[in-house]
Structure 1
Amino acid sequence: MDLKNLLDVLIEKNRSLISQGHVATYIPELAKVDPKLLGTAIVDKEGKVYSSGDSKVYFAIESISKTVVLALALLDNGEEEVFKHVHKEPSGDPFNSIKKLETEEDHLPRNPYINPGAIMMTSLIKGKDPDDKFNRILNFMKRISEDDTLTLGTETYLSEKRTGDINRALAYYMKGQGVFSENVEETLDVYFRQCSINVTVETLAKIAGFFARGGVLTTGERVISQRQAQIVTGLIATCGMYDQSGEFLDNIGFPGKSGVGGGILCPLPSKEIGVAVFGPAIDKEGNSTGGMGILKDLSDKLNYDMF
């Protein structure tokens, strides 16, 4: 069976898992998304795309944007400076928890992929104002995905901004502890926008492929260093699925970064390929139920498990 046919089979096989999840409702715009959508894509090391299901549907990238922003923060500031502001450890807590900020002596976020760490990374992006910073993020995402169709989902952004009080609490807590130096409201405006960029599952597979190739475009052009790509991918593996990260890595064997919009991005450096799934019905940890079923089947059938 060729890869495209296999993806078609896995889409149908895992549709039953959709009923085990539900769309995110705490962001009103995400509550409007059709929960029955399901798509997947694989990008090989030459950049060829194989996809199936709802692979052309645009959806909000949400927390998967954190991988792109971490890469740009590393490019803007260097590794040493970035990790003065955030740790590299799994948190063991929900993505929007304040607990570790309170209990850690230095009050720094545990990693760049939980919300306080991601907000910290957004604050490190260079730019003269919020518009400039967001445009740099958007253009960087377009570049590494080799996809010029990406745009801001304005309604999602406004919905995030209206309902983002927990993120405000996290940022102001860090500000109050003296570890966050930028303007909170301006930084959060950029953060809400970066999470609201519209992508397809094919876009995510291309971004995953970029990191899997060690920061190199399909043209052979290097954008970030091998070391920077390793940092992004290593943290995806250990922290990308929040408090489900260990279980995901053990059961599926992929580095995976999820978003509550229903996407999961999986770079596989040993194969130099990018894998992605999209299914807006998510479980209580915020991860796509149908998407994780597809990834498990791909791991088993194609021997993609990194271990």
Structure 2
Amino acid sequence: MSNFGELQSLANSITAVTSPFRNYLNDLYEKYRSLNEGAVADYIPELALAKPEWFGVCVVTTEGQVFEVGDCDQLFTIQSISKAFVFGLALEDHGRDYVNSKVSVEPTGEAFNSIVLDEVTNRPYNPMVNAGAIATADLIKGKNGTERLKRMLEMFKRYTGRDHDINVPVFLSEKATGYRNRAMAYLMLNFGMVSEKIDETLDLYFQQCSIMVNARDLAMLSATLANGGVNPVTKQRAIDERYVQDVISVMLTCGMYDASGEWCYRVGLPAKSGVGGGITAIAPGKVGIGTFSPPLDVKGNSVRGIKVCEDLSQDFGLHLFNVAKPERNLQEWIAGGDGINDW
């Protein structure tokens, strides 16, 4: 099922017609659409073209229901959000032990583009910082760069249910300005953490960051992980079930750059952000959340997106470590009396 019109039709056919959650999401969107904090990323020239007012929120349940409001059709580049899912593909290609021999899973407390490796093992700290993501991209199998990119795009299609394009101007812009990433790659080559096909791997990494998505895609990505690796609408498996916990564990501890600890404390959901303005967040067994808003805070995370996820987590008790009765029952709010099965 490659046409999103078909995907949306199928999703809508099983989405509750009357749901308090739909109204809640509309109110949440209105609450934060006028928030003007943050700044659009401009260190990659093409990213600076994004409009600060763009704002979309989408939630997809593990039953395949789609709730969305705002600019959920607006395309943007996935950027660092791709890192989590490429990490999953590398695990499928090589298994945990080998991947972990090249990339650690420890939070750094450093900026995402820091040129730093573990002093003992010489590995990049985790797959969510640039050094770790480059090492992860290097692990993707294929006889050449074209085949490796094709496998990557096919993987994203399994998650979202539709084909994705590469934004060529963004790719070329990243390639032309990616000096720090080249420095990281050659440093890792020195320690045997990556292969000698540096240029091919860097192109692959820049291309994966330049994949075009929208807020709905981000919600479908996270809903697929929330559903044990199976797309809740197409029913296609996107990732081997045994590696889902690996991906979402690293997202929880490392997914929000050097604000990951604060995020884990306040929101408590596995998530990954990108400097394009996207956030994808997972409530395992329940829903996937996708938000898009280009203005970023000083850590590189979407200001409006963080607020939306904070409210959803607090209002519905979605924090992974929450033991208190939530203010609202997510099941009941989504079902709207339509008899949705318990999770």
Q: TM-score range by the shorter chain?
A: over 0.9
Work out the CA distance in 2 between the residues paired with 1:190 and 1:156.
13
**Does the 8 Å CA contact 1:270/1:306 hold for their aligned counterparts?**
no
Correspondence for 1:171 among 181, 185, 189: 185
| CA positional deviation for 1:221 | 4.2
| CA positional deviation for 1:72 | 0.8
Alignment of 1:122-133 (within 5 A): 122-133=137-148
* SS in structure 2 of the partner of residue 43 of structure 1: strand
Alignment of 1:154-193 (within 5 A): 154-193=168-207
* SS in structure 1 of the partner of residue 122 of structure 2: coil
Correspondence for 1:296 among 274, 289, 310: 310
Q: What CA deviation, in whole Å up to 9, does each residue of 1:127-180 have, x standing for no partner? A: 1111111111011101121123x2111111111111111111111111122322
Give the letter aligned to residue 302 of structure 1. Answer: F
* SS in structure 1 of the partner of residue 102 of structure 2: coil
Q: Runs ≥4 in structure 1, deviation > 3 angstroms?
A: 219-223
Q: Which residue number in structure 1 is paired with residue 49 of structure 2?
A: 32
Residue 62 (1) aligns with residue 79 (2):
yes
| CA positional deviation for 1:223 | 3.9
**Does the 8 Å CA contact 1:38/1:54 hold for their aligned counterparts?**
yes
Residue 201 (1) aligns with residue 218 (2):
no
* Cα gap change, 1:178 to 1:203, in 2 (>3 Å): same
Alignment of 1:219-230 (within 5 A): 219-230=234-245
* SS in structure 2 of the partner of residue 140 of structure 1: helix
Residue 282 (1) aligns with residue 299 (2):
no
> Identity over the aligned pairs, expressed in percent?
45
Q: Which residue number in structure 1 is paired with residue 97 of structure 2?
A: 80
Residue 231 (1) aligns with residue 249 (2):
no
* SS in structure 2 of the partner of residue 151 of structure 1: coil
Q: What CA deviation, in whole Å up to 9, does each residue of 1:31-88 have, x standing for no partner? A: 0100111111000111121101111100000000011101111111111111110111
Q: What CA deviation, in whole Å up to 9, does each residue of 1:204-259 have, x standing for no partner? A: 10010111111122244444332200000010000000110010111112111000
Tell me, which stretches of 5 or more residues in structure 2 are unaligned? 1-18, 322-343
Q: Which residue number in structure 2 is paired with residue 7 of structure 1?
A: 25
Larger-Rg structure: 2
**Does the 8 Å CA contact 1:123/1:182 hold for their aligned counterparts?**
no
Q: TM-score, normalised by structure 2?
A: 0.85
Give the letter aligned to residue 23 of structure 2. Answer: N
* SS in structure 1 of the partner of residue 101 of structure 2: coil
Q: Which residue number in structure 2 is paired with residue 89 of structure 1?
A: 106
Q: TM-score, normalised by structure 1?
A: 0.95
Work out the CA distance in 1 between the residues paired with 2:203 and 2:74.
25
Residue 253 (1) aligns with residue 268 (2):
yes
Work out the CA distance in 2 between the residues paired with 1:215 and 1:136.
17
Work out the CA distance in 2 between the residues paired with 1:55 and 1:223.
22
Correspondence for 1:140 among 155, 159, 163: 155
Tell me, which stretches of 5 or more residues in structure 1 are unaligned? none
Work out the CA distance in 2 between the residues paired with 1:221 and 1:25.
37
CA RMSD of aligned residues (A): 1.3
Work out the CA distance in 1 between the residues paired with 2:79 and 2:33.
23
**Does the 8 Å CA contact 1:214/1:229 hold for their aligned counterparts?**
yes
Work out the CA distance in 2 between the residues paired with 1:294 and 1:244.
16
Give the letter aligned to residue 42 of structure 1. Answer: V
Give the letter aligned to residue 311 of structure 2. Answer: D
| CA positional deviation for 1:190 | 0.5
